[in-house]
Structure formats: structure tokens, C-alpha cells
Structure 1
């Protein structure tokens, strides 16, 4: 991300050095969340197979929830005096996620790919929990905890679906 970006004036009593580090961390998280949302929409638009309707609906729910997360992250960045860097190009450049494969259509393949990406995002959120705890910035820490719980729950949904598919097919 852009290091040492200018900060906007604010009366928030968080030291400038801490705010700057938190903004960098949040912008990294913003990039990953934006990327994940677009990858979920890629799956939503292109899923095929017997579980089409259920997965199409699930993927849309995931994307909608991620949109809410994105807004929370960006608003926290600006609340502490930073610039939310939320363009598609920025997300593509700074996301920690692997590129989504364009060659898949089968529902199970999409679920596997999304579960992999939700797991990476979940780990990055826990890294954010640790970093903000070490910085003593507990409001942003609370945001990371909230997002982490939500992403873990959605990862569970994806993994449970995979376990059902494996069981149903005798695997």
C-alpha cells in the first residue's frame, strides 16, 4: 500500500504513528475484501450443475455480506483520518488472494476455490487482530474481531457444503 500517505485532521486521540500503521493495515484488508467479493461474484455468475440454485443464492449472500464488510473497513480508514484505497486496480495489486480460475463451472469446484480464499482472508483478519492489539488500537481491533467471526462462519458454511457433497457422493 502507499506508505506515509497524508493523514486528514481529526480530533481522535490516537497517535499519528498508530493511525498511520492502522490505515496501512486496513487498506490491505480493504484490498483483499474487495478482491474476495469480486471472486465470489465470479462464482455466482458462472456456477453450473445440480446445486446451481443453492450455490447461486449462497454466493450472492456472501457477496452482499462482503460488501457490508468493505464499507465498514473503508469507513474505519476515513474515521481515523486516512484515505480508503478501494478501486479495483488497487484491490488487484494489493490483495493477498490468488487469482480466481476462469476455467471452472462445476459447483463443487467453485465451493473449493471460495473456501480456500475465505480461509486466507480469515487468517489475514486474525493477523489484523494481532497487529491492532499490539498497537493498542482496540476500536479497530474490535472491527477485526467482528469481521473474523463473520468470515469464519461463512467458511464453515462453505466447508459444510463440501462435506455434504463428499458424503452424498460416497467420497
Structure 2
């Protein structure tokens, strides 16, 4: 395997990790949308839904980048669970601010994952992935910003 092949394989692997995190972040955000309660219910219910919709829209684009690069994508809930760095949250009684804090932390970590994947795209000479990640990063930074401001 050449250095370029190794760089491409590392990028595909990173994109699949990003795909797992994207799907897990979607499910967690949607879970919080369904279970949020309290004085800020209306605003947070709508915010979580909007953020979940934005996150879900990335899944197909990320998977298609993997396929365009000649890789195979994640194939099951098990493959997603094995690859994600997003921690499960099954507590449906979590208070609203704990949900906001957790999503803020997850989106901030997601930005770091995006930046690491962008670096691998550059090493692999994949200008398309390198460029599109900037948009994904901007979206994730905006999600984190909105959540951070709620916590202030």
C-alpha cells in the first residue's frame, strides 16, 4: 500500500467514525427533543428538533463521501455503536439544563472530530471532503454556540 493509499484509508476510517458520531448525536438530540420538560420546554423542544434535523441531513452526505472514495460505510446499529464516541444517555428524567449541557459538550467534541477529519482529507489530497467539512464545522459550531448561550 502506498502512502497515498494509507492516507485515503485513514480518511475513510475517520469519515466512518464521523458518520457513527453523527448518527449517535442525531438520536441523542432527538431523544432530548422528545423528553425535555420544564419552563423552557417550548423553546428547547423546537431547538432540539431543528438541531436534530440539521444533524440527520449530514448522514447521507458523509456516507456518500465514503462511497465516492471507494470505501464501505457503516451497516448496522451495532457498527454505529462500536464506532461512536458520543456517550449514550438513557435517562429520560434528565433536567433540561443537563440536556443542554450534554449536547453542548457533544457538539464541541464533534467539532474536534470534524477538524481531525479535515486534516486527514488534506493529507489524502481530497479537496472535496476538505472543503465540505468547513460547512459541517460551521453548523456544529453554531449548534454549540446556541447551547452555550442557554447555559450562560
Structure 1 residues 60, 103: CA separation in 2 closer, same or farther (over 3 Å shift)?
A: closer
Matches within 5 A, 1:61-100: 61-100=50-89
- Rg comparison, structure with higher value: 1
Contact 1:125 1:144 in 2 (8 A): yes
Question: Relative contact order, CA 8 A, sep 6+: which one is greater?
Answer: 2
Alpha-carbon distance in 2 for matches of 1:59, 1:87? 25
Shift of the alpha carbon at 1:16?
Answer: 4.2
Distance 1:64 1:132 in 2: 26
TM-score for the superposition, normalised by structure 2: 0.90
Work out whether residues 118 and 151 of structure 1, in 8 Å CA contact, stay in contact via their aligned partners in 2.
Answer: yes
For residue 40 of structure 1, what is the aligned residue in structure 2? 29
Structure 1 stretches lacking a partner, 5+ long: 1-14, 164-171
Q: Which runs of 4+ in 1 moved over 4 A?
A: none
Alignment-derived partner of residue 131 in structure 1: 120
Please give the secondary structure, in 2, of the residue aligned with 1:102. Answer: coil
Is 2:12–2:71's contact at 8 Å kept on the other side of the alignment? yes
Residues 1:162 and 2:151 are matched in the alignment: yes
Once superposed, what is the RMSD of the aligned Cα atoms? Answer: 1.6
Q: Deviations over 1:133-153 (max 9, x none)?
A: 222222111122221111001
Kindly state the Cα deviation for residue 86 of structure 1 after the two structures are TM-superposed. 4.7
Task: State whether residues 7 and 123 of structure 2, in contact with CA within 8 Å, keep that contact through their aligned partners in structure 1.
Answer: no
1:6 equivalent in structure 2: none
Q: Which residue of 2 aligns with 1:12?
A: none
Corresponding pairs, count: 149
Q: How far has the Cα of 1:95 moved from its partner?
A: 0.6
| Correspondence for 1:21 | 10
Q: 2:135 aligns to what?
A: 146
Unaligned runs of 5+ in 2: none
For the residues of structure 2 that align with 1:26 and 1:91, how far apart are their CA atoms?
A: 12
Contact 2:37 2:95 in 1 (8 A): yes
Moved more, 138-147 or 39-48: 138-147
Would you tell me which structure has more helix in proportion to its own residues? 2
Q: Work out the CA distance in 2 between the residues paired with 1:135 and 1:79.
A: 14
Report how far residue 80 of structure 1 moved: 1.6
